[in-house]
């Protein structure tokens, strides 16, 4: 992915974070954690760079930013076997590569921590 992709994603993340900070009357944001699936299409290092850019001069300046990566898991729709990892989405029942994606594609703001206005 290009850095522009992550900048666009971070803009959306910041819109969510700042909106929720206002709703909860936060005067500063100290930590932000997002969850990104292994195949969500984002690069954590590029998100870190984008975070630093957007955090400047905002409530989140100086905040800790973390990305929790979620591995790919799926379930064979024929036999129900749990499949783990991108390369392991073929079931042992050999009935074909038909599976239900369970995790690995998500991308969302998980937690925002900050200090409230008094």
Predicted confidence pLDDT, tens digits, the chain (118 residues): 455 778 899 999 999 999 999 999 999 999 999 999 998 989 888 999 999 999 999 999 999 999 999 999 988 888 888 888 776 666 777 666 677 889 999 999 999 999 998 7
CATH of residue 111's domain is 3.30.2320.50
Q: Rounded to whole angstroms, how far apart are CA atoms 27 and 18?
A: 10
Q: What is the DSSP letter of 42?
A: -
Task: Judge whether 78 lies within some domain.
Answer: no
Q: Which domain holds residue 55?
A: 3-71+104-116
- Within a domain: residue 26? yes
What is the pLDDT, as a whole number, of residue 47? 92
**pTM for the model:** 0.83
94 is a domain residue: no
pLDDT at position 91 is 72
Q: Give residue 81's pLDDT.
A: 82
55, part of any domain: yes
Does a structural domain hold residue 87?
A: no
pLDDT at 15: 93
CB-CB contact of 83 with 76 (8 Å): yes
> By three-state DSSP, how is residue 2 classified?
coil
Q: Is residue 61 in a domain?
A: yes
Is position 12 within any domain?
yes
What is the total count of domains within the chain? 1
18 in a structural domain: yes
| Whole-angstrom distance, CA of residue 102 vs CA of residue 64 | 29
């Amino acid at each position: 992915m290009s850095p522009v992709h992550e900048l666009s994603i971070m803009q959306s993340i910041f819109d969510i974070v700042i909106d929720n900070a206002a709703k909860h009357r936060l005067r500063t944001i100290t930590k932000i954690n997002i969850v990104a699936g292994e195949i969500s299409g984002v690069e954590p290092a590029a998100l870190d760079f984008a975070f630093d850019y957007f955090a400047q001069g905002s409530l989140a300046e100086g905040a800790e930013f973390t990305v929790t990566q979620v591995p790919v898991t799926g379930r064979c729709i024929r036999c129900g076997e749990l499949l783990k990892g991108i390369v392991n989405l073929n079931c042992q029942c050999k009935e074909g590569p038909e599976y239900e994606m369970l995790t690995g594609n998500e991308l969302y703001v998980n937690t925002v921590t900050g200090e409230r206005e008094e």
